[in-house]
Structure 1
Amino acid sequence: MWQLDVAISKLNRYASRDSGDTVEVVERPSGGLSIVIADAQGSGYAAKTLSNLVTSKAVGLLKEGVRDTAVHEALHDHLYHYRGGRVSCALITISADTKDKVCRITTNSSVPVYLVESNGNPIIKELSGSSNSLGIYPETRPCYLTIPLRPEIMIIAMTDGILNAGRRASRNLDLQELISCCLSVGKTPADLADCILTKAVELDSGRPSDDMSIAILSVSKREKDEERRTMSIVMPIREDMLASEG
């Protein structure tokens, strides 16, 4: 038996309490999962509000069975007409559709998505095709790609905070080399997501210049032949977010 693995790792911009990146996972009505990654312009509370709006609407439409490309177009129209073209939000949707046995990658973003196919030696492909973010230009359309939902594939998506890490200091993140190195030592999707995020923060000298998010969807072998589903989430909270004793 095989399983879908989802790993997400994210971090706020340095000295910012609110992230303009939001990542959601939703179960598809016909079977499978979708990951929704939104990166609103700017950072802080206003950007968080916008990315929350985009992901909540996207999740609602996906749960109703709306096609991924139609979700992107509807969200663009909403932002463009109700915000007057004054705000933008990058959006990436990765869907593993177990009914149609395909994986759909839909993007309104300039950040590439990476596909890893493992057949002994991992083959890493950068899925090209950049599209404008939602909300700015009329008639904006997403880029999309459909691939078979095969064993031992991995799809890696991220926001531009990771892609651009280190550029202010003229340092670049070689993602293909980093992914290859991590996979060569048998790192899990969760390990890989943390490794990429850690390297991006290191290139920004420990002070991320932008919000950073990475999401990985993979199809891996299941050790036990059972139908149980599990999810584990870790979210840090500051002490001032906790109720006082007494």
Structure 2
Amino acid sequence: MLVNISIAKVNKHGKNIGGDTAEIVERPLGGVTGIIVDGQGSGKPAKIISNSIVGKISTLIGDGARDGAVARAVQDYLFTIKDGRVSATLTMVSVALDTNSIVITRNGHTPVIVLDEHDEIIYEEQVNPLGFYKFSKPQINEIPLKAGLTIMAYSDGLVSAGKKYNNNITHNQIIEILKQQITTQSKADKILELALELDKDRPNDDTTILILETVEGDNKNIRKVTASYPI
């Protein structure tokens, strides 16, 4: 089995620095975690918050902490340093080989979409973000690891795509692309392109899309990471 993770992101129109931070981290007991953190607001202040949170998450995962404990730790960290005045949303999608499962962790209102050959599941329970409330807890869902899964997480910039033109992006439009027989990166790219089209190429907010897929295959234990960064 192979795990493919792809990220596509864009800053809010007019901002050189976006407030979203995304990362992919290998897990010490086997597997990988995809992370999205969206700092409150946009620009440099939001980026400082989201980047510091992702850095702490990466360290905690590397130390072997479980995802729920990681989310609680960064919640306490943000609440402490900002005295409950600044928030951030967090989504983590982990392929955990020690439990042979996929763990989805959410602090915030953005959904996570899960598809397999039979079902469509959208985890969209309202969950408090990080930082505002002293005892915020993450929403955690765990599903068995198997081939044929497509899981998509995203920041709220995608939710608002097209809103100012009364033409919001819909779950059906997103799912239609996720079901296409194209690469994982192509799916992320096409969904971001749709969001930009609905916003007339002037994105209303920082937007990050992370897609994780499990597929049958064997790459001889070779791990690959690629990135494209505009200058």
The structural deviation recorded for 1:179 is 2.3
2:200 corresponds to: 205
Match status 1:228 vs 2:222: yes
Tell me which residue corresponds to 1:242.
none
The answer to whether 1:152 aligns with 2:148 is: yes
Q: Find the aligned partners of 1:39 and 1:54 in 2 and give their Cα distance.
A: 10
Per-residue Cα deviation, 1:76-131 (whole angstroms, up to 9, x for no partner) = 11111221111111011110011211000000010110001025xxx322112221
With 169-178 and 151-160 compared, the bigger mean Cα shift is at 169-178
1:175: Cα distance to partner? Answer: 2.5
> Which residue is 1:89 aligned to?
88
What SS class does the counterpart of residue 205 from structure 1 fall into?
coil
Change in 2 beyond 3 A, CA 1:128/1:228: same
Larger C-alpha radius of gyration, 1 or 2? 1
Q: Gapped runs of 5+ residues in structure 2?
A: none
CA distance in 2, matches of 1:199, 1:175: 12
CA contact (8 A) 1:124 1:176 kept: no
- Secondary structure at the residue paired with 1:118? coil
Which residue identity lines up with residue 175 of structure 1 in the other structure? H
Match of 2:139 among 110, 118, 143: 143
- Paired residue for 1:244? none
Give the aligned length: 231
Distance, in Å, in 2 between the alignment partners of 1:155 and 1:176 is 15
Tell me the distance in 1 between the aligned counterparts of 2:177 and 2:99. Answer: 33
Equivalent-residue separation in structure 1 for 2:67 and 2:165 (angstroms): 37
The answer to whether residue 177 in structure 2 is matched with residue 178 in structure 1 is no
CA contact (8 A) 2:22 2:37 kept: yes
Amino acid at match of 2:206: D
Q: Pick closer, same or farther for the CA change 1:111–1:182 going to 2, 3 Å.
A: closer
**In structure 2, which of residues 103, 126, 135 is the aligned counterpart of residue 130 of structure 1?**
126
Query: Where does the alignment leave 5 or more consecutive residues of structure 1 unmatched?
Result: 238-246
Q: Which residue of 1 aligns with 2:18?
A: 19
Aligned Cα root-mean-square deviation (Å) = 1.2
Q: What SS is found at the alignment partner of 1:9?
A: strand
CA distance in 1, matches of 2:183, 2:142: 24
- Match of 1:71, SS? helix
TM-score of the superposed pair, with normalisation by structure 1: 0.91
Moved more, 165-174 or 24-33: 165-174
SS in 2 for 1:93: strand
Runs of 4+ in 1 over 6 A off after TM superposition: none
Counterpart code for 2:151: I
Q: 2:132, 2:16 → 1: CA distance?
A: 26
Q: Using the TM superposition, give the Cα deviation of residue 225 of structure 1 relative to its aligned residue in structure 2, in angstroms.
A: 5.2
Q: Percent identity?
A: 34
2:58 is the alignment partner of 1:63? no
Distance apart, 1:180 and its partner CA? 2.1
Q: 1:66 to 1:112 in 2, by over 3 A?
A: same
Equivalent-residue separation in structure 1 for 2:163 and 2:199 (angstroms): 8
Distance in 2 between the 1:140 and 1:206 partners?
36
C-alpha displacement of 1:181: 4.4
* TM-score computed with the length of structure 2 as normaliser: 0.96
2:189 paired with 1:194: yes
Distance between the aligned counterparts of 1:103 and 1:91, measured in 2? 16
Of residues 136, 161, 170 in structure 2, which corresponds to 1:165?
161
Which SS does the other structure have where 2:164 is aligned? helix
Query: Contact 1:107/1:130 (CA < 8 Å) preserved in 2?
Result: no
CA displacement at 1:182 relative to structure 2: 5.0
